[in-house]
């Protein structure tokens, strides 16, 4: 009835299995300017530095709420965001990764920089979540050498330009073809196909209609056979849809809408959903799992 993608995903030192339930990737943005929760971890001096202890504690809380993976990012990818230099991103990310990984938490590093990915992996991260989809040959080399799980995401342009009139003739087919092509290229240079995961990049160089079409056609992407990650949490297209219904929302007000899209992604065969509000997402995905997976796995 439902076409699920590959049920296991091989990471740097372990393999995760999604046959029992959809995995939840909790978000820890160690940034001052992320669209949803930037500035959540300012240092006590109030001068724009990062309170690593607060970010670490937030990661622990997300695990307590049911997150299977914690995704740590040090550079905002909101539309129009300014680039962060390597040294600053390393300063933000690596101390958080190191502590959470040492506690046995599966950590993903959300970065497009090969230097940051390498440092985070050496600090204990299991996954590289690259929003630029392995465009940088140096990132491909790091992933091939250190063997993490790798999320290949589709993005049209870059965070500074991606919402400048994005156009597709068929967004579902074009995104799927891009992801499969990038996966094939990664495999050709030595990355184990069992380590790859695809992300259609909801909100990254897409209009509201493109995002809705991708979610409606998600089965086309899960049919490629790789684990698929979906990140809709608190994104602006949800705000637009809710606004049409007369409800004006800030990003933290969209957790119910986010949970609804997570449940629909599960029904379409997604293996991992990325979320800010893990507790709400756990409820929606477990109910979706109970409906679309074998009852013996959930009862």
Catalytic member of 235, 244, 286, 293 = 235
Question: Of 99, 101, 91, 176, which Cα lies nearest the Cα of 133?
Answer: 176
Answer yes or no: 113 catalytic.
no
Q: Tell me if residue 235 is catalytic.
A: yes
Residue pair 197/151 in contact (Cβ under 8 Å)? The answer is yes
3-state SS of 170-206 is CHHHHHHHHHHHHHHHHHHCCCCHHHEEEECCCCCCC
Contact present, 127 and 148 (Cβ < 8 Å)? yes
Which residue in 124, 96, 98, 127 sits closest to 110, CA to CA?
A: 127
| Rounded-to-integer distance, Cα 132 and Cα 191, Å | 17
Distances (CA, A) of 88 to 84, 94, 294: 7, 10, 46
Pairing of strands 149-153, 127-130: parallel
Burial 85-98 (b: 16+ CB within 10 A, else e): eeeebbbbbbbbbb
- Tell me which of 12, 92, 206, 274 is the catalytic residue: 274
- List residues with catalytic annotation: 235, 274
């Amino acid at each position: 009835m439902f076409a699920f993608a590959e049920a296991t995903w091989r990471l740097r030192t372990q393999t995760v299995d999604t046959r029992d339930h959809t995995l939840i990737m909790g978000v820890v943005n160690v940034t001052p300017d992320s669209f949803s929760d930037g500035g959540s971890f300012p240092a006590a001096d109030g001068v724009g530095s990062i309170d690593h202890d607060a970010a670490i504690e937030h990661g622990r809380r997300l695990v307590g709420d049911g997150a299977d993976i914690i995704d740590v990012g040090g550079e905002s990818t909101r539309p129009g965001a300014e680039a962060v230099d390597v040294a600053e991103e390393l300063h933000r990310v690596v101390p958080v990764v190191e502590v959470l990984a040492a506690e046995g938490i599966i950590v993903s590093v959300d970065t497009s920089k090969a230097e940051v990915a390498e440092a985070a992996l050496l600090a204990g991260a299991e996954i590289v979540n690259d929003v630029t989809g392995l465009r940088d040959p140096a990132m491909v080399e790091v992933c091939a050498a250190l063997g993490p799980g790798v999320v290949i995401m589709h993005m049209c342009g870059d965070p500074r330009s991606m919402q400048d009139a994005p156009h597709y003739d068929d967004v579902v087919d074009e995104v799927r073809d891009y992801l499969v092509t990038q996966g094939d290229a990664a495999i050709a240079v030595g990355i184990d196909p069992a380590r790859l995961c695809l992300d259609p990049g909801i909100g990254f160089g897409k209009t509201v209609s493109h995002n809705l079409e991708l979610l409606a056609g998600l089965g086309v992407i899960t049919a490629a056979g790789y684990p698929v990650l979906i990140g809709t949490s608190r994104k602006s297209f949800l705000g637009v849809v809710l606004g049409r219904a007369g409800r004006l929302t800030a990003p933290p007000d969209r957790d119910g809408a986010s949970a609804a899209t997570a449940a629909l992604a599960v029904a379409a065969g997604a293996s991992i959903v990325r979320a800010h509000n893990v507790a709400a997402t756990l409820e929606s995905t477990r109910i979706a799992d109970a409906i679309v997976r074998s009852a013996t796995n959930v009862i």
